[in-house]
């Protein structure tokens, strides 16, 4: 029986010719995270299923339809993580990070798994950058976290993004809102999809997040959550908006934003683009003050956000944002025979010790084929080693772009070559400043 050599539907490979783009984005977001005081956390790819049922919410699409859940050999129900917050919250509690100085700021680059219909910007295995801030209820924290996401987009030179904010209140002020929603949707119960008919009694706010065109049309006339906020939640939201204005962050209040996960409270927000079609939400987040308590902790307020990295890449491509070129080979060391190859391998090792890239022949190519290969991999410089070069201790270093050549010592090659590369970088920097 033939083995399938195709990737699973809803997954994708990132090939060597493209991976440097992903790495650039990842390094950029982690650099911004460091500036905001967020430190990396890494959690397992699977957790106890109950963690997601209790945190994400058993009436959400994620839990009801999309989770990859299985029994292990011990009969335990485990689930591949559909999002990153629940695992980070579990780790925060399990390892007693609440005993450290607050707030605790953590971030992660992680893979997530949801059984959804694959399309552009929506895969079954996808990747997120997420940030969580535990231990603060201040509206200033909400504004700072939103500012953090905003700075990531600025660092990546992404434009044409709109920030939408809302408050969905606390559990107390939501009781009256839930009652108003039930009364409203009860009129249209027979027109709602089967899933939303079940949600009507259990969690009517989920109907506002339904993707069914018919249900979305009905939801347009639903009561607005901002009209049901208690005084404390209303005051919190007003202060969040004040801080955002202070930070010169443009925003639009959208009372229809509820986010797709049950743990959210008070502030919720989304960054949305019109450049990539239906999957335009590239970042979403908000406050989840009751999540840690739901997981068995004392009350610890928290908030965060997640950015879909595949959607981020699509957005950058749609906006023609130029990503840095892949780092090529700094020098290719060609060898004419086996003795020269031994010398070439040692020189290559010395060059790499200077944090530069060097390659030599490990296939057994002819000299002509080696030089073709050097050109194909984009080597900046090349040298050819043979008996004459080894005996004289000198070889010609060739600039592969200009064709210029210079004699260089073989014994001191690594150190001398490092100086040449530094001079090239200084010259390039001067040209950029001159422009």
Q: How confident is the model over 159-172, as a mean pLDDT?
A: 92
For domain 16-170+230-318, the CATH class is alpha beta
- What span, in angstroms and rounded, lies between the C-alpha atoms of 73 and 85? 27
DSSP state of 8: P
**DSSP notation for 372-383:** HHHHHTT-SEEE
Annotated domain spans of the chain: 16-170+230-318, 331-420
The answer to which of 14-18, 337-341, 349-353 has the lowest mean pLDDT is: 14-18
Q: What is the CATH number of domain 331-420?
A: 3.40.50.800
What is the structure's pLDDT at 127? 96
Q: Which tokens in the block code for residue 167?
A: 């408050």
Q: How confident is the model at residue 175 (pLDDT cuts 50, 70, 90)?
A: confident
Q: How confident is the model at residue 275 (pLDDT cuts 50, 70, 90)?
A: confident
Per-residue model confidence as pLDDT tens digits over 130-139: 999 999 999 9
What is the structure's pLDDT at 189? 85
What is the structure's pLDDT at 73? 94
pLDDT exceeds cutoff 80 at 278: no
pLDDT exceeds cutoff 70 at 395: yes
The count of C-alpha atoms lying within 13 angstroms of the C-alpha of 127, restricted to the half-sphere facing its C-beta, is 16
Q: Across the chain, what does the average pLDDT equal?
A: 92
Per-residue model confidence as pLDDT tens digits over 210-265: 778 888 888 888 899 999 999 999 999 999 999 999 999 999 999 888 776 677 89
**DSSP notation for 255-290:** TT---SSTT-EEEEEEEEESSSTT--EEEEEEE-TT
What is the structure's pLDDT at 1? 60
């Amino acid at each position: 029986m033939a083995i399938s050599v195709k990737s699973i539907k809803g997954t994708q490979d990132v090939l060597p010719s493209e991976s440097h783009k992903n790495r650039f984005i990842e390094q950029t977001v982690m650099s911004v995270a460091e500036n905001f005081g967020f430190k990396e956390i890494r959690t397992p790819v699977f957790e106890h299923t109950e963690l997601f049922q209790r945190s994400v919410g058993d009436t959400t699409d994620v839990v009801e339809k999309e989770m990859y859940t299985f029994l292990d050999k011990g009969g335990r129900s485990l689930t591949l993580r559909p999002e990153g917050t629940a695992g980070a919250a579990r780790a925060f509690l399990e390892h007693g990070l609440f005993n450290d100085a607050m707030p605790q700021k953590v971030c992660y680059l992680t893979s997530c798994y949801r059984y959804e219909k694959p399309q552009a910007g929506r895969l079954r295995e996808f990747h997120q950058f997420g940030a969580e801030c535990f231990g603060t209820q201040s509206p200033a924290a909400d504004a700072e976290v939103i500012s953090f996401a905003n700075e990531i987009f600025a660092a990546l030179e992404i434009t044409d993004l709109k920030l939408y904010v809302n408050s969905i209140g606390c559990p107390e002020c939501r009781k009256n809102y839930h009652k108003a929603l039930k009364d409203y949707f009860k009129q249209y119960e027979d027109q709602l999809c089967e899933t939303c008919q079940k949600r009507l009694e259990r969690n009517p706010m989920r109907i506002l997040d339904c993707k069914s065109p018919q249900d979305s049309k009905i939801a347009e006339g639903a009561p607005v959550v901002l009209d049901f906020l208690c005084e404390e939640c209303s005051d919190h939201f007003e202060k969040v908006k004040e801080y955002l204005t202070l930070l010169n962050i443009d925003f639009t209040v959208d009372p229809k934003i509820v986010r797709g996960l049950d743990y959210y409270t008070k502030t919720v927000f989304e960054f949305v683009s019109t450049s990539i079609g239906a999957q335009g939400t590239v970042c979403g987040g908000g406050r989840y003050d009751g999540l840690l308590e739901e997981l068995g902790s004392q009350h610890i307020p928290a908030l965060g956000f997640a950015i879909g990295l595949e959607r981020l890449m699509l957005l950058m491509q749609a906006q023609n944002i130029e990503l840095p070129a892949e780092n090529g080979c700094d020098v290719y060391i060609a060898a004419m025979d086996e003795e020269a190859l031994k010398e070439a391998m040692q020189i290559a090792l010395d060059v790499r010790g200077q944090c530069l890239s060097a390659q030599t022949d490990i296939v057994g190519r002819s000299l002509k084929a080696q030089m073709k290969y050097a050109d194909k991999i984009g080597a900046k410089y090349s040298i050819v080693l043979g008996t004459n070069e080894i005996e004289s201790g000198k070889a010609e270093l060739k600039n592969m772009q200009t064709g210029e050549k210079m004699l260089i010592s073989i014994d001191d090659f690594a150190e001398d070559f490092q100086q040449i590369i530094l001079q090239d970088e200084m010259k390039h920097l001067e040209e950029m400043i001159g422009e």
